[in-house]
Amino acid sequence: MTDPVIVIHGGAWAIPERLVDVNISGVEDAARKGWGVLGKSGSALDAVVAAVKALEDNPVFDAGIGSVLTEDGTVEMDAMIMDGSSLGAGAVAGLHDIRHPVDLARIVMERTPHVLMIGDGARRLAEKYKVEKLTQKQLVTEEARRELAEWLEKKRAGTAFGHETVGAVALDAKGNLAAATSTGGMTGKLVGRVGDVPIVGSGGYADNKLGGASSTGHGEAIMKVNLARLVLTHVEAGALIQEATDRALAYMMERVAGTGGVIALDPKGNVGHSYTTPHMVWATARNGKIESGI
């Protein structure tokens, strides 16, 4: 038997002082939800889904309700999940009306022969399995509107910003790892833009032999270095998990001038978390105890 653990992130970005407390309480709540599964001998997959759904329901975070807006003022959401025991993975992109994108990503993984679904196919799958929906009006928050208005004012300067991504990585009592990541993307993105989150190995990765990781930050940079899998490549080469997260982010900065953050677990439950942005809000749960930081 293995001592279970879950680690959460709520995005790597310049978190305003007025949002610090709600960000910390939000990831702590998600960690509790995940631990509520693991503490009852539940699976790592169920734990990361429970944690990410809590974040998708929290309007503080850029996922599900509270997702940031495209330049047209609409919501487009992406998500992924991966099972470290089988390397099974599922992902969805460009969702407009799904309350919990991570649920649909899991359906892709478990109910189809595919990994990534988009557009009308994803919509049909959601209808087939009766995935809960919300209208755009229900998904869009006043904070998201405010950020879009601010972005539009600065558009000529090429400024891009947002709450970034949420994610979770868990290790269960059977030694299985899982990772899940969900996002609304970046404020002011072009309609149809897809970032790193649904790209397996970029937005997240899990392999029982190596560990699990979930990424956050500048999606275009993350995709270029396959950040989540890069962390585990360093583990495979002999690095400890914290060193691996540090090295992966340093490489992304060196090669493509990209900033972001990553959380990770190794197969023994050791935690790594690192970021090159001003902040990354995170929390871990182990033995029922919550630890958090920003």
- pLDDT band of 251, cuts 50, 70, 90: very high
Residues tagged active-site: 165
For residue 163, what pLDDT is reported? 54
Q: Radius of gyration of the chain from Cα atoms?
A: 17
Distances (CA, A) of 268 to 30, 33, 92, 209: 22, 21, 30, 10
> What was the pLDDT predicted at 1?
78
Closest to 283 measured CA to CA, from 1, 3, 23: 23
Averaged confidence pLDDT in the chain: 95
The answer to whether residues 261 and 173 touch, using CB atoms and an 8 Å cutoff, is: no
Specify the pLDDT at position 154: 79
**Does the structure show a pLDDT above 60 at 159?**
no
Percent of the chain with pLDDT over 90: 94
Is residue 192 within 8 A of residue 65, CB to CB? The reply is: no
For residues 225 and 238, give the distance between their C-alpha atoms in angstroms, rounded to a whole number. 19
Average pLDDT in the 25-33 region? 98
- What is the pLDDT confidence band of residue 199, given thresholds at 50, 70 and 90? very high
Give the 3-state DSSP-derived string for 120-189, with helices as H, strands as E and coil as C.
HHHHHHHHHCCCCECCHHHHCCHHHHHHHHHHHHHHHHCCCECCCEEEEEEECCCCCEEEEEEECCCECE
Provide the total of helices (H) and of strands (E) in the chain, helices listed first. 9, 12
Q: Give pLDDT, residue 92.
A: 98
- Model confidence at 153, pLDDT cuts 50, 70, 90, reads confident
Question: What is the side-by-side order of every strand in the sheet holding 204-207?
Answer: 204-207, 211-217, 260-265, 271-275
- pLDDT per position as a tens digit, 179-198: 999 999 999 999 999 999 99
pLDDT, position 127: 98
Q: Mean pLDDT across the stretch 241-266? A: 98
Average pLDDT over every residue of 267-293: 97
Burial class (CB in 10 A: 0-12, 13-18, 19+), 271: buried
The DSSP call for residue 190 is P
pLDDT over 80 (residue 83): yes
CA–CA separation, 203 and 222 (whole Å): 8
The kind and range of the H/E element at 29 are: helix 20-38
pLDDT digits (tens, 9 = 90+) for 40-72: 999 999 999 999 999 999 999 999 999 999 999
Domains by residue range for the chain, with CATH: 5-293 (3.60.20.30)
Structure tokens that stand for 129 in this block: 């399995």
pTM over 0.85: yes
